[in-house]
Amino acid sequence: MSGSPSSSSSSLSWGYFDRVRERHVKASSPPSDVYRVPAGDGAVDLRHLVVISPQLVGDGDTPYQAYVDLAGAALLALHHINNGGGSDAIPELTEIEERCGRTRFTADFIDSRISPIASSRALLKDVLRRHETQADSNEFVSKSGGDSAGSRAPVATAVIGAYRSVVSVPLATLGGVYVLPQFSLMSTSTSLDNRDNFPYFGRIIPSVAADAAVVVDYLDNVVDEHVTHFGVLHIKDEYGTTYAQAVDRAARAAGMSVTVASLPLRRDKDSDPEVRRAAVRKSISQLKSTGMRYFLGIFFYEDYEPVMIEALEQGIAGSGNFWVFSDSLFDLAHASFNTSMKNGRDLIEVSRGTALLTFTEAHVLEGEPRYDALLRHWSNAYITKGNHSLPKGRQHFNDKMRLAWGKVVPDKDQVEKLLRDYTFSDYPSTFSILTYNTVIAAAFAVCHAESKERDAHTGSISIGSN
């Protein structure tokens, strides 16, 4: 495939436009979020996306598959956008030439660490102020085969992310200040609906207000038609707080009453466990004092065991009680407890008969033509078959993660080991599909805005082949 906007691009390699950027956009080039550069037998308007999502957990030594696969989904979407593929999975991609013309995209990744402070710091230093520090520019350019010496660090057109609302809110604030569009993967806090506070924030999923309505309907009409009151235990962050508020509003509208208790957000891994246990004990005691038997849990999997064991000890979990959990506990769908585990017998008891409100597992869509098409693209890009070499998509993924993980793990040998050991899921998860769709929606939005700007004037900086 050539770089001409009118040409088919299906034969271009995964890192093609990274190499185009490395070759033509030099440190001496004026800072811009779009450059018109030679590519193939034509020219492209080259833009850049930054994906901010969690990747490594623990001390930065464990790639968490549910998170890392999101990066693969983002890269697959960009490959389809740049190459004109994927229309068998997303029919709208047949309109890519009409919608985007000569626009093509590169991308890099930032590990959010699920931390609003770390993510905001990275956005400021590594994205918003890139053009101010050329000495650091090379670390942001993919080493995908081109000559990166003296290349200018890409200036972002938009941010994809974040995963958690507590991270997306400060990023959206900075995006409003710096006029940087943000397209969230899965942040559902209702706070982000405020267009005055977050004018450049977007998402393709509904807010927790929709989840709240489903929870109340479930408790009101499915579980027991006589449920008139229930308790809510929520994590005290953007997601949990706005979710609990939305549930309270929906319950009142349905004639039900709610008692809400909050659980402090874990600040860091070194926090005193006794302090944490005391906070859990206090929250559970507050719910116990109501005499209720129905509860909604809005917290994360890391708190599931301490919360539910405490609830069992205080008599509000297990037999005679009913808990429903939000999608923040999606890991419960794959959890396996047994009696040989510490607290295993108690975990089995408190988990039996509970409900989980979350997205349907994507693999249940097998047999649906568009899902099967996406599954084929995923497998061809990332799944190593037998003793064959790494697929081209996986090689490109490694190039990108080598840079992103290198900012978290200073030991290069350790980064290489993490990459060697990492295995993609055989099936893209629902969250991976959401990420894939978010990136495509973001690209279409950028192209639409660019076409409107092009009607008025040309906003790109042209760079010759020399």
**Interatomic CA distance for residues 419 and 150, integer angstroms:** 27
Q: What is the largest CA-CA distance in the chain?
A: 76
Query: Which of 324, 356, 388 marks a domain boundary?
Result: 356
Instruction: List pLDDT tens digits, range 89-123.
Output: 999 999 998 999 999 999 999 999 989 999 999 99
Tokens matching residue 174: 């900075």
> Residues of 209-224 as b/e, b for ≥16 C-beta within 10 angstroms?
bebbbebbeebbeeee
Number of domains composing the chain: 2
What is the percentage of the chain residues whose pLDDT exceeds 90? 71
Point out which residues pair with 50 in neighbouring strands. Answer: 108, 159
Q: Give the pLDDT confidence score for residue 12 in this predicted structure.
A: 86
Indicate if 402 and 438 belong to the same structural domain: yes
Indicate if 341 and 313 belong to the same structural domain: yes
Q: Give the pLDDT confidence score for residue 461 in this predicted structure.
A: 64
Q: Is 8 contained in some domain? A: no
Indicate if 161 and 87 belong to the same structural domain: yes
pLDDT score of 9 more than 60:
no
Q: Give the pLDDT confidence score for residue 226 in this predicted structure.
A: 74
Indicate if 59 and 72 belong to the same structural domain: yes
When mean pLDDT is compared across 60-64, 216-220, 278-282, the lowest value belongs to: 60-64
DSSP 8-state code for residue 409: -
pLDDT score of 368 more than 50:
yes
Q: Give the pLDDT confidence score for residue 212 in this predicted structure.
A: 97
Q: Is 5 contained in some domain? A: no
Helices (H) and strands (E) in the chain, counts: 14, 14
Indicate if 110 and 176 belong to the same structural domain: yes
Indicate if 62 and 81 belong to the same structural domain: yes
Tokens matching residue 121: 């710091």
Q: Give the pLDDT confidence score for residue 138 in this predicted structure.
A: 45
- Nearest alpha carbon to residue 445 among 202, 207, 205: 202
Side chain identity, residue 173: T
Please state the rounded mean pLDDT for residues 178-183: 96
pLDDT score of 266 more than 80:
no
Q: Is 243 contained in some domain? A: yes
Angle between helices 65-83 and 392-406 (to 10 degrees): 120
Q: Is 27 contained in some domain? A: yes
- Nearest alpha carbon to residue 380 among 76, 84, 107: 76
Domain membership of residue 86 as a residue range: 16-205+364-462
81 pLDDT band, cuts 50/70/90, is very high
462 pLDDT band, cuts 50/70/90, is low
Q: Give the pLDDT confidence score for residue 30 in this predicted structure.
A: 87
Indicate if 195 and 217 belong to the same structural domain: no
Instruction: List pLDDT tens digits, range 30-68.
Output: 889 999 999 988 999 999 999 999 999 877 789 999 899
Q: Is 22 contained in some domain? A: yes
Q: Give the pLDDT confidence score for residue 134 in this predicted structure.
A: 47
Please state the rounded mean pLDDT for residues 338-345: 91
When mean pLDDT is compared across 231-235, 365-369, 437-441, the lowest value belongs to: 365-369
Beta strands in 189-302 (DSSP E): 201-203, 229-235, 257-263, 294-298
- Nearest alpha carbon to residue 38 among 100, 93, 104: 104
Tokens matching residue 202: 């977007």
Indicate if 180 and 296 belong to the same structural domain: no
When mean pLDDT is compared across 106-115, 137-146, 184-193, 425-434, the lowest value belongs to: 137-146
Point out which residues pair with 301 in neighbouring strands. Answer: none
Instruction: List pLDDT tens digits, range 425-448.
Output: 999 999 999 999 999 999 999 999
Please state the rounded mean pLDDT for residues 376-405: 93
Q: For residue 360, count CB atoms less than 10 angstroms from its CB and return exposed for 0-12, middle for 13-18, buried for 19 or more.
A: exposed
Indicate if 325 and 378 belong to the same structural domain: no
CB 312 within 8 A of CB 349: yes
CATH code for position 316? 3.40.50.2300
Query: Which of 305, 324, 356 marks a domain boundary?
Result: 356
Q: Give the pLDDT confidence score for residue 388 in this predicted structure.
A: 78
Backbone angles phi, psi at 203, to 5 degrees: -160, 160
Please state the rounded mean pLDDT for residues 401-409: 94
- Nearest alpha carbon to residue 394 among 363, 373, 421, 414: 421
Side chain identity, residue 327: D
Q: Is 10 contained in some domain? A: no
Indicate if 70 and 174 belong to the same structural domain: yes
Side chain identity, residue 371: Y
Angle (CA) 427-61-144 rounded to 5° is 70
Tokens matching residue 287: 């719910």
Instruction: List pLDDT tens digits, range 247-263.
Output: 999 999 999 999 999 99
Q: Give the pLDDT confidence score for residue 247 in this predicted structure.
A: 98
**Interatomic CA distance for residues 379 and 366, integer angstroms:** 14
pLDDT score of 217 more than 90:
yes
Q: For residue 443, count CB atoms less than 10 angstroms from its CB and return exposed for 0-12, middle for 13-18, buried for 19 or more.
A: buried
Query: Which of 331, 356, 381 marks a domain boundary?
Result: 356
Point out which residues pair with 461 in neighbouring strands. Answer: 35
Q: Is 7 contained in some domain? A: no
Indicate if 27 and 120 belong to the same structural domain: yes
**Interatomic CA distance for residues 158 and 13, integer angstroms:** 23
Q: Is 198 contained in some domain? A: yes
Indicate if 333 and 369 belong to the same structural domain: no
Q: Give the pLDDT confidence score for residue 442 in this predicted structure.
A: 96
CB 304 within 8 A of CB 313: no
Q: Tell me which of 394 and 147 has the higher pLDDT.
A: 394
Please state the rounded mean pLDDT for residues 74-96: 94
DSSP 8-state code for residue 135: G
